[in-house]
Amino acid sequence: LKSQGIPAQELAWTCSAYRFIEFCIIGLLGLRSLAAMAFRASRLARFASEASVTNRLLLTMTSPGEGIYMRKAVDSVTVPGTEGVFTVTNNHSLIVSQLKAGVINVKDGSESKDYFISDGFLFFNHPTDGSGCCTAEISGVELVPTSALDKDRATQVLSELMAAPKDTEWDRTKAALGSALVQQVLKAAE
């Protein structure tokens, strides 16, 4: 088709349309459940919409329990690195960074969302296609919106940690690490 002078954008749409029809036919034949067919159709629609995104930062932010963002186009993301807080935008230099407990700020236009991360990593890569969209992948042990943090419960946990016996090295280490994390939760909850 490309050799016949059909533009690349039309070619991509034609291929996507053929895949969608294929999924519908397979679903009608009973080889796939309706839920699986709907999932594939929504995934196909998501990737079709991503094809039009250019020169934006594509953010993936996940924890073992959930995926908060999956290749969402954003303007910037500010993260708490172990060497200090820094902001990543599209076309940033390549980076792999360890993250410490703190607040991640995601900006998209005038919208801004904050998330608490207990610790994790950030991987930043340049585009692998012609879109100009770089990718930032944040993988955290715990990632929650700061609005979900309970300041009163964190204060209670901090008091329990400080009141616990510190007879052994393990007790002292547990209290030190736990209190440092809870203090970051309290700071983020403000």
Q: What is the pLDDT of residues 73-109, one digit of tens each?
A: 999 999 999 999 999 999 888 999 999 999 999 999 9
- Percent of the chain scoring above 90 in pLDDT: 51
pLDDT for 30 equals: 41
pLDDT for 96 equals: 95
The lowest-confidence range among 40-54, 128-142, 159-173 is: 40-54
pLDDT for 79 equals: 97
| Rounded mean pLDDT, 56-63 | 94
| Rounded mean pLDDT, 159-185 | 90
pLDDT for 127 equals: 86
pLDDT at 35 over 70: no
Stronger pLDDT, 19 or 139, i.e. the higher one: 139
pLDDT at 13 over 70: no
State the pLDDT confidence band at 51, using cuts at 50, 70 and 90.
low
pLDDT for 110 equals: 93
| Rounded mean pLDDT, 17-26 | 41
pLDDT for 52 equals: 65
Average pLDDT, the chain: 79
Q: Position of tokens 């969209």?
A: 133
Mutual angle of helices 34-50 and 8-28, in 10-degree steps? 170
| Rounded mean pLDDT, 159-174 | 90
Tokens of 83: 């060497």
How far is 4 from 23, CA to CA, in rounded Å? 27
Contact between 161 and 185 (Cβ < 8 Å) = no
Contact between 115 and 62 (Cβ < 8 Å) = no
Tokens of 11: 């070619």
pLDDT for 61 equals: 96
